[in-house]
């Protein structure tokens, strides 16, 4: 059962990847014409949702951000802190509350993050969106809170317009479900993965608030 669930999730990710590439227009001129026509016909409401100052990072920068999300100091610190909290709570209890359990939880956290960031990167590249968090351009309290809370569920298109954050949502739930169905104790299932994924998205929003108001 666990193997089928994991294979199903991986197949879904690959299918989305392939479909996105197949539906991409082949004729660059035709694509540009369509985009231009759409921009001319767009109403003011659509324009307001587009960040005119946004510039999509180039390929090299996107790759650098991907590796930073895996091995950067913030990613490693989050993994260690999370492992420490779980060890203090002895969760899951089968792993123990000593150094051995702490090591297993660090390995688990690193594995989950690697799956998550890889899925996010792959889908971002396929659908040409950007899931990276950007601080609000408006510095009033309400705008900063709103930006922090919706960022885990949104991304930016090539033009800077906010779109549904498929990459981060799929990546978060995929990593949590795979972990629950594979290396976590047998009493865990995809339901635990879904719960863990939801909590992870909530913590992501909380961390965004920290970056909006505290981190410079």
192-214 tens-digit pLDDT: 999 999 999 999 999 999 999 98
Q: Mind listing the pLDDT tens digit for each residue in 163-190?
A: 999 999 999 999 999 999 999 999 999 9
97 lies in some domain:
yes
User: pLDDT at residue 82 above 70?
Assistant: yes
pLDDT score for 139: 87
Per DSSP, 56 falls in state P
31 lies in some domain:
no
Phi, psi at residue 120, to the nearest 5°?
Answer: -60, -45
pLDDT score for 97: 87
Please, which residues bridge with residue 164 across strands? 154
pLDDT score for 102: 97
Q: Mind listing the pLDDT tens digit for each residue in 27-62?
A: 444 434 433 444 444 433 433 466 778 999 999 999
pLDDT score for 216: 63
DSSP secondary structure string, 148-215?
HHHGGGEEE-TTSBEEE-HHHHHHHHHHHHHHHHTTS-TT--HHHHHHHHHHHHHHHHHHHHHHHHT-
pLDDT score for 169: 98
pLDDT score for 26: 42
Rg for the chain, CA atoms, rounded: 19
196 lies in some domain:
yes
SS3 147: helix
49 lies in some domain:
no
b/e code 186-201 from CB counts within 10 Å (16+ = b): eebebebbeebbeebb
38 lies in some domain:
no
pLDDT score for 3: 44
Per DSSP, 94 falls in state G
Q: Mind listing the pLDDT tens digit for each residue in 87-137?
A: 999 999 999 988 999 999 999 999 999 999 999 999 999 999 999 999 999
26 lies in some domain:
no
pLDDT grade for 24, boundaries at 50, 70 and 90? very low
8 lies in some domain:
no
Q: How many alpha carbons lie under 13 Å from residue 115 in its C-beta half-sphere?
A: 23
pLDDT score for 66: 98
Q: Which helix (H) or strand (E) holds 126?
A: helix 99-127
Q: Which helix (H) or strand (E) holds 15?
A: helix 2-22
Domain span including residue 102: 57-213
Going by their DSSP bridges, the two strands 162-164 and 154-156 should be labelled as antiparallel
Q: Which of 6-15, 108-117, 135-144, 147-156 shows the lowest mean pLDDT across its residues?
A: 6-15
156 and 54 Cβ atoms separated by less than 8 Å: yes
pLDDT score for 49: 60
Dihedral angle, C-alpha 172, 175, 178, 182, nearest 10 °: -140
CA distances from 154 to 31, 131, 168, 201, 208 (A): 24, 7, 8, 12, 13
Encoded tokens for 162:
């906010």
User: pLDDT at residue 6 above 90?
Assistant: no
18 lies in some domain:
no
- Name the domain count of the chain: 1
């Amino acid at each position: 059962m666990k193997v089928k669930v994991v294979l199903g999730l991986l197949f879904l990710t690959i299918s989305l990847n392939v479909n996105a590439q197949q539906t991409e227009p082949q004729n660059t001129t035709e694509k540009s014409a369509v985009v231009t026509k759409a921009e001319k016909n767009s109403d003011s409401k659509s324009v307001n949702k587009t960040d005119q100052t946004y510039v999509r990072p180039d390929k090299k920068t996107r790759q650098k951000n991907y590796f930073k999300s895996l091995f950067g100091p913030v990613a490693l610190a989050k993994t260690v802190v999370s492992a420490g909290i779980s060890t203090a709570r002895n969760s899951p209890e089968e792993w123990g509350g000593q150094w051995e359990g702490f090591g297993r939880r660090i390995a688990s956290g690193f594995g989950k993050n690697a799956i998550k960031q890889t899925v996010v990167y792959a889908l971002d590249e396929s659908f040409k969106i950007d899931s990276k968090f950007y601080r609000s351009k408006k510095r009033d309290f309400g705008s900063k809170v709103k930006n922090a809370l919706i960022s885990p569920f949104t991304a930016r298109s090539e033009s800077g317009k906010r779109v549904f954050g498929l990459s981060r949502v799929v990546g978060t739930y995929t990593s949590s479900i795979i972990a629950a169905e594979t290396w976590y104790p047998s009493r865990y299932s995809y339901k635990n993965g879904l719960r863990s994924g939801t909590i992870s998205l909530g913590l992501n929003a909380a961390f965004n608030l920290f970056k909006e108001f505290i981190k410079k």
